[in-house]
Amino acid sequence: MVAHRNIMLWLAALVILGSCAAQTPIVIWHGMGDSCCNPLSMGSIKSLIQKNINGVYVKSLEIGSNVAEDTENGFFMNVNKQIDMVCQQLANDKNLSNGYNAIGFSQGGQFLRAIAQKCPTPPMLNLISVGGQHQGVYGFPKCPGDNGTICNLVRKMLNYGVYVSFVQDNLVQAEYWQDPLNEEEYRAKSVFLADINQERPTKNMTYKENLLKLKNMVLVMFLQDTMVQPKESEWFGFYEPGQTEKLYNMTQSDLYKNDYLGLKTLYQSGRITFLSSDSDHLRFTDDWFINNIIKRFLV
């Protein structure tokens, strides 16, 4: 009888251990000019993660029904529409129902933050932003992943007028463009960034409530970044209004001080980690990724 009970206890312990050992799934969102499944970028990241975390489920987000659409949508599909699509994709994936860790590369970083703020189910546990532009960009020095056709069109649209409604509705990069010389127009007309950064007259406090559910928000800045202007946006810094030299950092930002997003609350409870890689945009090494991201936040 006693032996029988012991066996039952052992079995119960094994079941519990087994479920603990199930690795937290990971969702990744690629950057501009890239796609879900490029073997040289997201494909190799996915296999790097799976090599280091035995059996983990990795979902590399695809926006659209094939790789070409996915790449184009990274330029021309309204971000709010992309957020709605991804929100659905995550909710429909049973593998994620107990929660997931999110890694966003470049613009995927701010897009996944929008997911954290808007789509609490399934729960995002850790948000890792690798070169994401959380205060937007003011400059577009390079345009990756294209033969020139798309990039020329992007440039034409930006030059035509970043805050013109046709451009706002159709050009992803305009939707996180912050003009420090024209903050008023930015706040009034930016369809994406001004919204998720609580810069509208009315604040949506659900964004804060949801963001505060994160265990950690990890922000990676590339110290030699030649693509993001200013690179400090990757740590929630940006140009002070009215000029393009002087920068504020996260704790000096209005967004932090007013705490409309919960940044102050997160930071003061030790849940924001600033990391850097001494390289150009997204040019980290496998070792850097394993030691700073996988070992610290994903296992």
Instruction: Please report, as ranges, the residues that interact with ligand NAG according to CB under 6 A.
Output: 57, 93, 95, 118, 147, 149-150, 204, 206, 249-252
The torsion defined by the Cα of 238, 239, 245 and 246, in degrees rounded to 10, comes to -90
134 belongs to the catalytic site: no
Residue 179 CB, shortest distance to ligand NAG, in Å, is: 23
Residue 94 CB, shortest distance to ligand NAG, in Å, is: 6
> In this complex, which beta carbon is closest to ligand NAG, that of residue 3 or of residue 148?
148
> In this complex, which beta carbon is closest to ligand NAG, that of residue 1 or of residue 243?
243
198 CB burial (10 A radius; 0-12, 13-18, 19+): buried
Residue 254 CB, shortest distance to ligand NAG, in Å, is: 14
Query: One of 106, 129, 190, 276 is an active-site residue; which one?
Result: 106
Other CB atoms within 10 A of residue 268 CB: 10
> In this complex, which beta carbon is closest to ligand NAG, that of residue 57 or of residue 179?
57
Contact indicator for 93, 124 with CB cutoff of 8 Å: no
What are the tokens at 59? 């979902």
Residue 127 CB, shortest distance to ligand NAG, in Å, is: 16
> In this complex, which beta carbon is closest to ligand NAG, that of residue 53 or of residue 179?
53
Query: One of 134, 225, 233, 276 is an active-site residue; which one?
Result: 225
Q: Which residues are paired to 60 by β-bridges?
A: 28
The CA distance from 83 to 185, in Å, is 23
- Show which residues are catalytic: 106, 225, 281
